[in-house]
Amino acid sequence: MTKKNKKILVIHGPNLNLLGKREVSVYGKVNLAAINKQLKKLADELGVSLDIKQSNHEGEIVDLIGKAPKKYSAILINPAAYTHTSVAIRDAVAAVSVPTVEVHLSNIYSREEFRHTSLISSVAKGQICGFGIESYILGLRASATFAK
């Protein structure tokens, strides 16, 4: 695929549809629509296209990842709470061999102890966290770079 034909799947995990309203002291005032707008703008600059999905359901996220090799050159994912709990999402990422970048708005390593473990990071190309919306921007740049 040429760079122009690279298509990246963006997956926002559970409760990210509530951004801007929930735990503003942790996640900031930015909402999901604002993040998506910034991602689309950057995608245009990078010459890649995006499909953006948000789901609160683990199985739906697994299905999206499972279908990715037929459609996408890379995956940008914020697994949110599933980061720490979902072997199913971890195994899906490992199974598809599509370059995957994990992102988080907050620094998961400076938060509660249970958030310090990412089941996804060991099978992802890399992880970016703690920079708010910039985590997504940096993650998209990395995804575009490593897209097959």
Active site residues: 27, 104
Which of 42, 37, 35, 120 is closest to 75 using CA atoms?
120
Instruction: Report whether 39 contacts 78 (CB < 8 A).
Output: no
Tell me the C-alpha distance between 107 and 120, whole Å: 15
> Any residues with CB less than 8 A from the CB of 84 and at least 6 apart, and which?
114, 115, 117, 118, 119
Tell me the C-alpha distance between 62 and 48, whole Å: 23
Beta strands in 15-61 (DSSP E): 49-54
